């Protein structure tokens, strides 16, 4: 591809902050985290305090572009292991360095059993207006089979606290395809979600990563993991029950009540620039994607040495694939006109040709000039469609 892409000169107004601490490591998790055990949190843990210092040092060393932040996302790990004071410290430095818009969406991932009423009130007080509760399952045996550090009772306590504090945006995560999970168990979880009525729901299909405990225990498709047809049926069931319950399926894995989509995650899917801070976090700035070291020692050394970002501009083929891979996750898909302006008519013709068999299967469609995956079938087979695009476009 000879065409030169002009990268968006858009100024980043979103920040992701990685908080890499968890009580234990879930059996399916391969994120860069520290396991700190069940006892310590906040300032009680020297490990957390040291990390916050380094993280703030990194933020302070980053060039700002004089536009206030519109979205901030504390992810992990388990950000609800931070004290209010630690959270405030990070927000203060973001305010000093970039400014935070008055109506900014400030999200935090929280895990049942890691916070009480005072913690949550504190988080709300310093500016958190969206929480994402890592539920994963409503059955005790499934939580244990995944190595989660909380019980079903902890989930309901957490929900009660969120309602008492009145956090306006409330998301819940579930995982399908877990060992021993059946369609009936899955239906019950979805019905519980409908009854609880959070503003947003994320549904992830279990991926078995080789480096995890699950990677050692199980082979995809083998018992006690559900078969592929069962996980596909789970995906279709979630789509039916949640859309029937008033949620819009706006992204492959995400559902929201009207007006409650996650603004921060939309920045990723629309391939807009953003800052990432913390161990293993990625930034996407001026066409360059940079991932920080995933190991503590290396991350600390990188910050001590001045946070030097030295990476090449993303090649245009990769930008095209990223645009397709991310944009097709959204229900509204990608504008063909924008694709043509950015990558040229030849590329768009080629994409249309590659996708023709999937258009015939009704997995892909063009609606009002936008290329979209159909829901649920196109979303369900997105991996097949994207693999074909990768194979033919590279
Ligand atoms: S809580 Fe999340 S980040 Fe922590 S170990 Fe479990 S899956 Fe990984």
Residue of the CA atom closest to atom 3 of ligand 1? 77
Residues with C-beta less than 6 Å from any ligand 1 atom: 22, 25-26, 29, 31, 33, 76-78, 111, 134
Residue of the CA atom closest to atom 8 of ligand 1? 29
Alpha carbons 371 and 389: distance in angstroms, whole number: 13
pLDDT of residue 9: 59
CA–centroid distance, residue 77 to ligand 1 (Å) = 5
pLDDT of residue 64: 82
CA–centroid distance, residue 388 to ligand 1 (Å) = 31
CA–centroid distance, residue 273 to ligand 1 (Å) = 26
Q: Compute φ and ψ for 71, nearest 5 degrees.
A: -140, 140
Model pLDDT for residues 164-208, shown as the tens digit of each residue:
999 999 999 999 999 999 999 999 999 999 999 999 999 999 999
CA–centroid distance, residue 349 to ligand 1 (Å) = 42
Alpha carbons 62 and 320: distance in angstroms, whole number: 28
Residue of the CA atom closest to atom 5 of ligand 1? 25
Residues with pLDDT less than 70, the chain: 1-9
pLDDT of residue 310: 80
Cα of first residue to Cα of last residue in the chain, in angstroms, is: 9
Task: Evaluate the CA torsion angle 75, 77, 78, 79 in order and state its sign.
Answer: negative
Alpha carbons 384 and 380: distance in angstroms, whole number: 9
Question: Any bridge partners for residue 131, and if so which?
Answer: 108, 170
Residues 225, 179 contacting (CB under 8 angstroms): yes
Number of the ligand 1 atom closest to the C-alpha atom of 22:
4
Number of the ligand 1 atom closest to the C-alpha atom of 76:
3
pLDDT of residue 1: 56
Alpha carbons 282 and 288: distance in angstroms, whole number: 10
Model pLDDT for residues 146-165, shown as the tens digit of each residue:
999 999 999 999 999 999 99
pLDDT of residue 393: 87
pLDDT of residue 219: 83
């Amino acid at each position: 591809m000879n065409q030169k892409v002009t990268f968006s000169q858009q100024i980043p107004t979103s920040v992701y902050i990685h908080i890499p601490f968890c009580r234990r490591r879930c059996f399916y998790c391969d994120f860069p985290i520290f396991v700190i055990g069940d006892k310590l949190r906040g300032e009680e843990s020297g490990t957390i305090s040291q990390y916050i210092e380094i993280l703030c040092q990194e933020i302070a060393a980053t060039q700002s572009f004089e536009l206030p932040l519109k979205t901030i996302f504390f992810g992990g790990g388990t950000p609800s292991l931070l004290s209010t004071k630690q959270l405030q410290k990070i927000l203060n430095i973001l305010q000093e360095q970039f400014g935070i818009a008055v109506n900014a969406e400030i999200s935090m991932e929280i895990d049942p059993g890691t916070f009480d009423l005072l913690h949550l009130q504190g988080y709300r007080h310093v500016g958190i207006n969206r929480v994402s509760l890592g539920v994963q399952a409503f059955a005790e045996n499934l939580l244990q089979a995944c190595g989660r550090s909380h019980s079903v009772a902890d989930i309901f306590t957490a929900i009660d606290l969120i309602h008492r504090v009145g956090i306006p945006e409330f998301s819940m995560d579930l995982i399908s395809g877990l060992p021993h999970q059946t369609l009936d168990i899955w239906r019950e979880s979805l019905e519980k979600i409908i009854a609880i009525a959070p503003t947003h729901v994320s549904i992830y299909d279990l991926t078995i990563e080789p480096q995890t405990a699950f990677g050692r225990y199980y082979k995809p498709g083998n018992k006690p993991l559900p078969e592929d047809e069962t996980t596909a049926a789970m995906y279709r069931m979630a789509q039916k029950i949640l859309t029937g319950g008033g949620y819009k399926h706006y992204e492959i894995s995400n559902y929201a009540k009207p007006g409650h989509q996650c603004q921060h995650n939309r920045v990723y899917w629309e391939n807009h620039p953003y800052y990432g801070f913390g161990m293993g976090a990625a930034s996407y700035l001026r066409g360059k994607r940079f991932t920080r070291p995933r190991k503590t020692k290396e991350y600390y050394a990188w910050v001590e040495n001045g946070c030097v970002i030295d990476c090449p501009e993303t090649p245009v083929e990769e930008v095209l694939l990223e645009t397709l891979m991310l944009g097709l996750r959204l229900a509204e898909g990608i504008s063909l006109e924008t694709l043509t302006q950015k990558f040229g008519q030849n590329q768009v013709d080629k994409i249309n040709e590659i996708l023709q068999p999937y258009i015939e299967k009704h997995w892909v469609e063009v609606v009002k000039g936008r290329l979209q995956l159909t829901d649920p079938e196109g979303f369900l087979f997105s991996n097949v469609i994207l693999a074909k695009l990768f194979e033919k476009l590279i």
